[in-house]
Structure 1
Amino acid sequence: MHQTKQFMFETVNILGVDIAVTTLERTADRVRQWIADRKKVYLCFAPVSTLVDCRDNENYRQIVNGAALVNPDGVPVVWVARAKGKKDMQRTGGPDFMALTLKESTSEGPRHFFYGGNETTKDRLLKMVQQRWPQAVVAGAIAPPFRQSGEMEDPSVIDEINAASPDILWVGLGSPKQDVWMANHRNQLTCPVICGVGAAFDFIAGTKPMAPNWMRSNGLEWLFRLGCEPRRLWRRYLIGNCKFIYYLLTTEMQSHG
């Protein structure tokens, strides 16, 4: 599903993906407007690994570019954008955006629904949200069974989410799976905004550690996460980061050739 780019942000194209020139606060303002207008949109948060996957897979690139807003989820992404002249841009990561939105929520809304993680993560996430942001309205949460990427959801799950009437559906399946899921189910879901936020559930729940701020601000979060989960993440970071640099260099050479 390709969405109309309502309230268009300026964008910068990196490896074929149109990244919004935005900040956490700007994205939050836009989401509030979409909720007020009852727009039906989905948002992607794109780190280096997503950009590499999009470069390698045309179908996935179309899904990500089909989002109403693609946020720069990684300091290296921001560095590249600034090198292209987009100075007014900040890292806008899924975990940070989810935490900010919950912090700014009131008893009047928005209503939040969480889809992703396992049962342990879900329970700890709900507990931490209640402790840190007791004013936030939680409409529900589902820890889905494992499915292959692209597999359609059980209709009863869609019905359960719709019956809870959330304003924001947070999807924590990891990329590319969560982006494919959002695109496949956007038309069936009645909530205005769907956000694919990756490891945000684990970070907020405390089931996985978040990198220290100094590493995050210097583009080293990938190294911290690799150290925590080497067997799961080595391919994404060691191979993916090399491919990112190679793709950038070859793209620049072609543009100046």
Structure 2
Amino acid sequence: MIDFARPQQVNILGVAIDCVDFALTLDLIDTWIVQRRVAGRSCLPCRQICTVNPEFLVDAWRDPAFAATLARADLRVPDGAGVLWAARRMGRPLRERVTGSDGIEYICERAALRGWRVYFLGAAPGVAERAAAILAVRYPGLQVAGCYAGSPADAEWPEIRARLDAAAPDILFVAYGHPRQDFWIDRHRHELPAAVAIGVGGAFDFVAGVAPRAPVWMRKNNLEWLHRLVTQPWRWRRMLKLPIFVGLVLRAR
């Protein structure tokens, strides 16, 4: 096990974004899982990873409760071209977007090699199971600890907790969408049996083929937001946060 110090950070609109890429993120997860296995669940709470995009930052600017949730997270990775743009304007360029949609692939690949147990929580009924099955074929040796749709409602917690305790995963993917998944992990992290929990938004839908992901060329050119707007027009209200984000960043300089 390698002992990592806290990564350097860049402050964007009051939120400290960790200066990490996928490689360092995976190494941190590796370290946390080993630490948890050695120390035991009672000694170390579940680590929370938040994939921070411009929408997160606008919501944190508006909502002190969400800002506090992000502040308590163990890792806030840069998800979104807007976050990379803001960091460049501040003279602190970041290497790459660390997205939940790509992260689930990289984490499952590492999990298959390391013997980590992964749990898929959230999305519509049946989607988690389909995504897990596809990833298990894609990454031979992947140990799927379990799948369950459930919901972030408080009434669901006893059932979810019982399932997770029985499954004993190392990593918990939570696909309840922003910001519900981030609030949910923060609320329950001291009771979660996993070493690491990460909100992955629509990642299960992408893996399962329920929702189409942007072509690679659009992702490389930071146009994934445009693809989502075209294929999911109901997101237009959420997209209005993008110009608000740009204005806030420009005003902060």
Q: Do they superpose with TM above 0.5?
A: yes
Q: Which residue of 2 aligns with 1:189?
A: 192
Whether contact under 8 Å (2:101, 2:200) holds in the other structure is: yes
Structure 2 counterpart of 1:155, from 155, 158, 166: 158
Q: Which residue of 1 aligns with 2:40?
A: none
Q: Which residue of 2 aligns with 1:142?
A: 148
Structure-to-structure mapping, 1:96-245, within 5 angstroms: 96-106=102-112, 109-145=115-151, 147=153, 151=154, 153-231=156-234, 233-237=235-239, 239-245=240-246
Aligned to 1:70, what secondary structure does the other structure show? strand
Aligned to 1:154, what secondary structure does the other structure show? helix
Deviation at 1:131, TM superposition (A): 2.1
Q: Which residue of 1 aligns with 2:29?
A: 31
Matches of 1:127 and 1:117, distance apart in 2: 15
Aligned to 2:214, what secondary structure does the other structure show? coil
Structure 2 counterpart of 1:80, from 67, 86, 92: 86
Matches of 1:82 and 1:156, distance apart in 2: 45
Aligned to 1:215, what secondary structure does the other structure show? helix
TM-score, normalising length: structure 2: 0.90
Deviation at 1:172, TM superposition (A): 0.7
Q: Which residue of 2 aligns with 1:13?
A: 11
Structure 2 spans left out of the alignment, 5+ residues: 37-43
Aligned to 2:119, what secondary structure does the other structure show? strand
Matches of 2:128 and 2:49, distance apart in 1: 21
Matches of 2:47 and 2:160, distance apart in 1: 19
Q: Percent identity?
A: 36
Deviation at 1:96, TM superposition (A): 1.0
Matches of 2:192 and 2:12, distance apart in 1: 30
Aligned to 2:112, what secondary structure does the other structure show? coil
Matches of 1:217 and 1:107, distance apart in 2: 27
Instruction: Give 1:13's aligned amino acid.
Output: N
Write the deviation string for residues 146-179 of structure 1: whole angstroms up to 9, x where unpaired: 74xxx46421311210221100001011110000
Deviation at 1:250, TM superposition (A): 2.0
Matches of 2:186 and 2:199, distance apart in 1: 10
Structure 1 spans left out of the alignment, 5+ residues: 1-5, 253-257
Q: Which residue of 2 aligns with 1:255?
A: none
TM-score, normalising length: structure 1: 0.89
Matches of 1:211 and 1:224, distance apart in 2: 6
Query: What value does the CA root-mean-square deviation take over the aligned residues?
Result: 1.6
Q: How many residues align?
A: 242
Matches of 2:178 and 2:94, distance apart in 1: 26
Matches of 2:114 and 2:96, distance apart in 1: 29
Instruction: Give 1:52's aligned amino acid.
Output: V
